[in-house]
Amino acid sequence: MHENQTSTPADVTMRVPRPMPSAPADATLRMPHPFPPVYAAPRPIRPRLLWIFLSWALFVVLVVAGVGGFAGGLFSTLGDAAPATIFSGGQSVNVALDPADKPAIYAAVDQPTDVRCQLGDGADPRVRLTRPAVSQTVTLNGTTWELMFEAGVPEAGTYQLACEGDGVRFGVGKQLTGAVGMLVGGAVALLALPTVGFLAALIVTIVVLARRSAARRRLA
């Protein structure tokens, strides 16, 4: 009886896996990081451009305020100078006059005509009417009033005024020169406020851009 046996050839080489070298006792094993490294966000450049926007917005506001101040002063001047007491030719009225207001007599006519006025009873030479050195007109509510006489009175009080003129309406108001202070104030506001706003916005723009440029150079 024969047994089947498998014989190993005499020249067969057996390969044994090489053992892994042992790590030193003080060695640190580095494992791959599961996430990419986190980088810090870049710091914003200061100062912000918002300051430039705000400075020019302030300039626009000051321009509007200057125009509004001038327009308000102009309308206030015209409103103060416009006649407050109105009467027709041939009538006599009692009017309150104050020399501090620089009172004046205006006339509204559609065509050239002769006019004549008398202030007071003629007993006091200080109460008088004089022709203006400069022609002045005031247009209000569609009516054009022309300055006819400047009223001179010694003190504030009530005076009788009589005027004559065919188809003429007369009015007692103030001289434009008496209200020139309001007009000058409005003109100053029109010039000063926008100028201050423009210079401030220009300075802020230059400073902000210069500092931002320096900040970029430091971060580079």
Amino acid, res. 54: L
Predicted pLDDT of residue 35: 57
Is pLDDT larger for residue 201 or for residue 174? 201
Residues above pLDDT 70, as percent of the chain? 76
Q: Are 109 and 168 in contact (CB under 8 A)?
A: yes
Determine if the peptide bond prior to 47 is cis (ω within 30°). yes
Predicted pLDDT of residue 73: 74
CA distances from 115 to 109, 111, 157, 166, 167 (A): 10, 12, 25, 8, 10
Query: Tokens 């400073």 label which residue?
Result: 207
- Please give the average per-residue pLDDT across 116-144, as a whole number: 87
Predicted pLDDT of residue 1: 45
Segment 138-196, tens digit of pLDDT: 887 888 899 999 999 999 999 999 999 888 999 998 887 666 666 777 788 888 999 99
pLDDT beyond 60 at 10: no
The residues spanned by each domain of the chain are: 50-75+182-219, 83-175
DSSP character for 132? -
